[in-house]
């Protein structure tokens, strides 16, 4: 079974630039999560999708972050404009449904300079 795929693995951008991350969940998984993991901290949920609808985006900085999940499969997370404090690993995870175990991708490490 293929796992959660994320790209790119690494990204370096200057502050005020924009960036996008892509996630392809495990086939058939209806629930998709984006987590932000700042160095030295545990992952923090940014947004949770159920199919193509948003379930929880309470901790998403909506003035600069946006996410979509078209057709309930792949998802993209965008930051525009980026700030230095956005430097982190962005993890995508998916599960069959909200109650099932979540499987994580390898994440994208973003460095904002």
Q: Which of 5, 13, 20, 45 binds other proteins (CB under 8 A)?
A: 45
**Closest separation between CB of residue 64 and other proteins, Å?**
21
Check binding of 110 to other proteins (CB under 8 A).
no
Supply angle C-alpha 29, 39, 50, rounded to 5. 20
Cα distances (Å, whole numbers) of residue 84 to 33, 42, 61, 87, 111: 23, 19, 14, 6, 8
The reply to whether 26 sits near other proteins by the rule CB under 8 A is no
Q: Count residues contacting other proteins (CB under 8 A)?
A: 25
Q: Does 44 bind other proteins (CB under 8 A)?
A: yes
Buried b (16+ CB within 10 A) or exposed e, 44-56: ebbbbbeeeeeee
Nearest CB to other proteins, comparing residues 6 and 82: 6
CB nearer other proteins, residue 31 or residue 75: 31
Give CA separation, 52 vs 17, 35, 45, 68, 111, in Å. Answer: 27, 17, 17, 8, 29
Using CB under 8 A as the criterion, which residues of the chain lie in contact with other proteins when the complex forms?
3, 31, 33, 35, 40-45, 48, 55-56, 89, 91, 93, 98-99, 101-102, 104-107, 109
């Amino acid at each position: 079974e293929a796992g959660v795929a994320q790209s790119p693995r690494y990204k370096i951008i200057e502050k005020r630039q924009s960036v996008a991350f892509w996630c392809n969940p495990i086939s058939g998984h209806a629930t998709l999560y984006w987590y932000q993991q700042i160095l030295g901290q545990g992952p923090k949920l940014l947004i949770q999708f159920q199919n193509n609808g948003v379930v929880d985006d309470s901790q998403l900085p909506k003035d600069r972050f946006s996410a979509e999940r078209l057709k309930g499969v792949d998802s993209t997370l965008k930051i525009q404009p980026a700030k230095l404090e956005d430097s982190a690993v962005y993890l995508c995870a998916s599960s069959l449904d909200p109650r099932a175990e979540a499987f994580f991708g390898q994440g994208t490490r973003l460095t904002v300079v």
